[in-house]
Amino acid sequence: MAAVRAREGIAVRAANPDEGRTIAGLWRELWDAHEAWGGYAGTRDARVYDQLAHRLAEDARVRGGQPVLGRHVHLVAVAEGGVVGQVEGWFERHGVDDATPFTCEVRSLIVSSRARTRGAGRALLHGLADVARQLSRGGAVVMAAEVLEPNPAHAFYANVGYAPVSWTTRVSTDGPTADLGQEAFVARVATPNDALPIALLDPALAARRRAQGDLRFDRPRAVDATFVGALAAHLARPVAHDQSELVAVDASGVVRASASLTVMSLDPPFLPARRGLLGRFAMDPALDPRPLVAPLVRLGRRLAHLRGAATLELTDLDAPGGPLYAAALAAGAVPWSRITTRMA
């Protein structure tokens, strides 16, 4: 799977071992830009980029001229004999339904400032889509890219056919929590006994995603014993430091909403940090989401803070102006990013 694509003087192909240092330089340019937009900070330590260059060169040697290694795709754009851009892709299927499209997550797309407006970014995305279609063996593939709100690339993605389908906000895990003056619901960590009520909320989550045009996940499905049993087994596993399922319950103890909390460590060239994410918001569709989201965010912030994350991203939201997005803002969050997609 050599995946060489030429476009307007731009060749897209797998990286060569002698290009590691150039690609590491592109990564530094990308990380500096993300930090300027309010993203997670990257290191200024030249030794880290030296190590990254060595790792990229070794990775290219192992690939032997092929862009795919496992589920990871790596492509570079070459013009006039030199690397001017790169992109990564992560190929997988979310869910268990065979009708759910594969997803190829677009990662680390960067074109050197000296080579922009020449079509290299467009060529890299087309090349990545070509590889994704080969990996899917005829199956449908959703190309998905997360773009920070201050990133000027929104217009670029729109011009190449990507459309937003999911939004993210972010809130600090330290300091006071927004108080809506209503304590009708309380959040707690889920237990195996919550498997059935969480499962019964799942169709509403799936329907919301589909209504937003987000095809990366399973369609709404009937709740059966197999699904509930698998969820109960998941909730019964030993408590994981980095992942928790949360529920919001009413005064009678009935589960009315759920969400998933994940805290992960960022790898170099990021500065050492922990990233918190609270997503998969599944709400009782008959209720206003604001008093449900508030306690989930309050608990998520506290747990993420205890696990070392300075901020918490509230992911998988509806569009700005929608009830779930408004609930996230009411809970103290601010706009952070959006997921844009197109079919390969």
- The one-character DSSP state at 250 is -
Domain ranges of the chain: 5-161, 169-338
Taking 3-state DSSP, the helix, strand and coil percentages for the chain, each rounded to the nearest 5, stand at 35, 30, 35
Distances (CA, A) of 19 to 114, 143, 271, 287: 17, 26, 24, 55
C-alpha count within 13 angstroms, C-beta hemisphere, residue 215: 17
Q: What's the CATH number of domain 169-338, 3.90.1640.10, 3.30.499.10, 3.40.630.30, 3.90.79.10?
A: 3.40.630.30
Q: What is the pLDDT of the chain when averaged over all its residues?
A: 93
Which pair of structure tokens corresponds to residue 84?
């001017």
- Range in 116-125, 181-190, 218-227, 314-323 the model is least confident about: 181-190
Taking only the tens place, the pLDDT of each residue in 70-113 is 999 999 999 987 999 999 999 999 988 989 999 999 999 999 98
pLDDT at 117: 82
Burial tier of 240 (Cβ tally within 10 Å: 0-12, 13-18, 19+): exposed
8 A C-beta contact, residue 142 and residue 104: yes
pLDDT of residue 200 exceeding 80, the answer is: yes
pLDDT at 144: 98
Taking only the tens place, the pLDDT of each residue in 243-289 is 999 999 999 999 999 999 999 999 999 999 999 999 999 999 999 99
Q: What share of the chain in percent tops pLDDT 90?
A: 88
What lies within 8 Å, CB to CB, of 244 at 6+ separation is 189, 190, 260, 261, 303
- Determine whether domain 5-161 maps to CATH 3.40.630.30: yes
